[in-house]
């Protein structure tokens, strides 16, 4: 959530959907022009300064200015009311940061406590704005819903959180709930457990807890028109996709397209609740809907995406031939160094895989060299084509290879997902942009 125009759009969106449904509005902290200027980043910076006994006043001033700038949509009495709320919240925040300055040490719980201010301020502001429409609105703070007996390492953690959130919200027909995207406090810290996309996860857990009988769809409002057939900044001819399957969405996210985190999607898709990605500044657009079921159209690519800064590791060894446990040894070495593997290709005497950290790979080199001859290719990129029931025998795949060949781009590695939802090519990073344009043109021209 960000500036005044976005808040005005949010107001219109909620009013529109409240005519037919009872929306539950989950908000993130206020964003900035850049990520570093957003409330969450300012709070993290204040924590860092406090733990080093440095002055964090500038961070507090920036947070105050951000929120006061956004009250332009409010009538004067509501502006004054929110300004008073803001000062009370900031005084509490300053008191806690001052305590950190004395202790000079942060715990996961104190980190979560301070981060919760961002979503709470945002939700309080949105509550005041929506009240000006005449709608019945209530503010729901989720920052205290977890007790110590809800262990975040337990298998049913998200089931428990989902139930607690729904119980806290207690949705009532014709009463709009404005909910903090933050839920806590998590034993290991919400950033460690979930990451900075916890507002999306909170929305998903609410939808999951209410179930398909009560939830029409989960809407994720971003600043893009939906999910594209390619990055429109690189390929202006890229089109917004009307509908994709959950498997396709996961593949796109994995290969670098910012859709929705797979874990967040799973919370909703597993309950057969569709997810719609929409543009908060263009609320009249239909966006892209993500469904659990595979699309009707088979053998059809939907998008082309890429991932840069890839390293190809190849191990050549005659010991692989007819040997048990060779791959297990290789991947255990990579696991020990924390190396993430994206793609794997094997033959009788060679295994190749892509990793993403040359420093970690160099540390693993002595152990890897015991397995065989090691070859490392840096400055590579992955070009991935995503779709349904893709196989190397259909016309789409032929078009991909023909387009790359015509551009004199020769893949060094080709892999196919077991689910046939993607085919990936490893090429030199210097040609990835050209590869994207050529393959997208071959597959989606016209």
Question: Domains in the chain, start-ordered, CATH in brackets?
Answer: 21-182 (3.40.1160.10), 300-444 (3.30.2130.10)
**What CA–CA distance (Å, rounded) separates 15 from 130?**
8
| pLDDT at site 190 | 75
Q: Let me know: does 7 contact 25? Beta carbons within 8 Å.
A: no
What whole-number distance in Å separates Cα of residue 63 and Cα of residue 58? 9
Residue 434 CB burial class (10 angstroms; 0-12, 13-18, ≥19): middle
Residue 325: what pLDDT?
A: 78
Short-list 332, 327, 369, CA closest to 348 = 327
Query: What is the predicted pLDDT for the residue at 322?
Result: 57
Q: CB within 8 A of 322, min separation 6: which ones?
A: none
323 burial (CB, 10 Å; 0-12 / 13-18 / 19+) is: exposed
Tokens 């699309």, residue located: 295
Q: How far apart are CA 374 and CA 372, in angstroms?
A: 6
| Per-residue confidence (pLDDT) for residue 71, from 0 to 100 | 86
Which pLDDT belongs to residue 297?
54
Which residue reads 């779709």 in tokens? 387
pLDDT of residue 273: 95
State both tokens at 110: 């104190």
Q: How is residue 409 written in tokens?
A: 């781009």
Give Cα 399 to chain centroid, integer Å. Answer: 31
Could you tell me where the DSSP H helices lie in 257-317? 262-269
Question: What is this structure's pTM?
Answer: 0.86
How many CA atoms lie less than 13 Å away from 273 in the CB half-sphere? Answer: 24
Give the pLDDT score at 393.
58
What are the backbone angles phi and psi of residue 310, rounded to the nearest 5°? Answer: -100, 145
What is the rounded CA–CA span in Å between residue 264 and residue 268?
7
Phi, psi of 410 (to 5 degrees): -120, 110
Per-residue pLDDT of the chain (446 residues; tens, 9 = 90+): 446 677 888 999 999 999 999 999 999 999 866 666 789 999 999 999 999 999 999 999 999 999 998 887 788 888 999 999 999 999 999 999 999 999 887 888 888 889 999 999 999 999 999 999 999 999 999 988 887 666 666 678 888 889 999 999 998 999 999 999 988 777 767 777 777 778 899 999 999 999 999 999 999 998 889 999 999 989 999 999 999 999 899 888 888 677 788 888 999 999 999 999 999 889 999 999 999 876 555 557 899 999 999 999 999 987 665 566 788 899 999 999 999 999 999 887 889 999 999 999 999 999 999 999 999 999 999 999 998 877 655 678 888 899 999 999 999 999 987 778 889 999 999 999 999 999 999 998 76
- Spatial contact of 94 and 74, defined as CB atoms under 8 Å apart: no
Number of neighbouring beta carbons within 10 Å of residue 184:
25
21: left (phi over 0), alpha (psi -120 to 50) or beta: beta
Longest dimension (CA), the chain: 79
For residues 412 and 343, the answer to whether their CB atoms sit within 8 Å is no
Strand pairing report for 288-291 and 275-279: antiparallel
């Amino acid at each position: 959530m960000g500036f005044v125009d976005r808040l005005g759009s949010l107001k219109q969106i909620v009013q529109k959907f409240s005519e037919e449904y009872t929306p539950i509005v989950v908000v993130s902290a206020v964003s900035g022009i850049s990520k570093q200027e957003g409330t969450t980043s300012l709070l993290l910076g204040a924590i860092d300064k406090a733990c080093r006994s440095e002055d964090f006043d500038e961070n507090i001033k920036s947070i105050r200015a951000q929120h006061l700038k956004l009250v332009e949509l409010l009538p004067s009495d509501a502006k004054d009311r929110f300004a008073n709320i803001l000062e009370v919240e900031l005084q509490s925040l300053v008191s806690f940061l001052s305590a950190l300055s004395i202790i000079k040490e942060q715990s996961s719980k104190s980190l979560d406590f301070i981060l919760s201010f961002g979503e709470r301020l945002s939700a309080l502001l949105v509550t005041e704005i929506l009240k000006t429409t005449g709608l019945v609105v209530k503010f729901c703070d989720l920052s205290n819903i977890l007790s110590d007996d809800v262990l975040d390492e337990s298998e049913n953690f998200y089931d428990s959180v989902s139930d607690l959130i729904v119980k806290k919200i207690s949705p009532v027909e014709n009463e709009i709930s404005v909910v903090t995207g933050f839920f806590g406090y998590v034993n290991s810290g919400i950033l460690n457990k979930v990451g900075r996309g916890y507002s999306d996860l909170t929305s998903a857990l609410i939808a999951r807890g209410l179930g398909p009988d009560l939830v029409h769809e989960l809407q994720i409002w971003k600043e893009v028109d939906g999910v594209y057939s390619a990055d429109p900044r690189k390929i202006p001819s890229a089109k917004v996709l009307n509908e994709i399957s959950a498997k396709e969405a996961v593949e796109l996210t994995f290969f670098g397209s910012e859709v929705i985190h797979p874990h967040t999607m799973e919370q909703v898709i597993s309950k057969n609740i569709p997810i719609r990605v929409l543009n908060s500044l263009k609320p009249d657009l239909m966006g892209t809907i993500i469904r659990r079921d595979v699309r009707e159209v088979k053998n059809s690519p939907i998008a082309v995406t890429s991932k840069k800064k890839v390293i190809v590791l190849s191990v050549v060894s005659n010991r692989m031939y007819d040997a048990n446990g060779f791959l297990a040894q290789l991947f255990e070495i990579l696991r020990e160094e924390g190396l993430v593997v994206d793609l794997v290709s094997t033959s009788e005497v060679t295994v190749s895989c892509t990793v993403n950290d040359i420093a970690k790979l160099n540390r693993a080199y002595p152990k890897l060299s015991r397995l065989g001859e090691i070859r490392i290719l840096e400055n590579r990129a992955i070009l991935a084509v995503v779709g349904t029931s893709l196989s190397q025998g259909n016309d789409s795949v032929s078009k991909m290879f023909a387009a790359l060949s015509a551009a004199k781009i020769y893949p060094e590695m080709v892999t196919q997902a077991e689910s046939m939802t993607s085919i990936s090519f490893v090429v030199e990073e210097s040609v990835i942009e050209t590869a994207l344009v050529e393959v997208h043109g071959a597959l989606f021209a016209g």
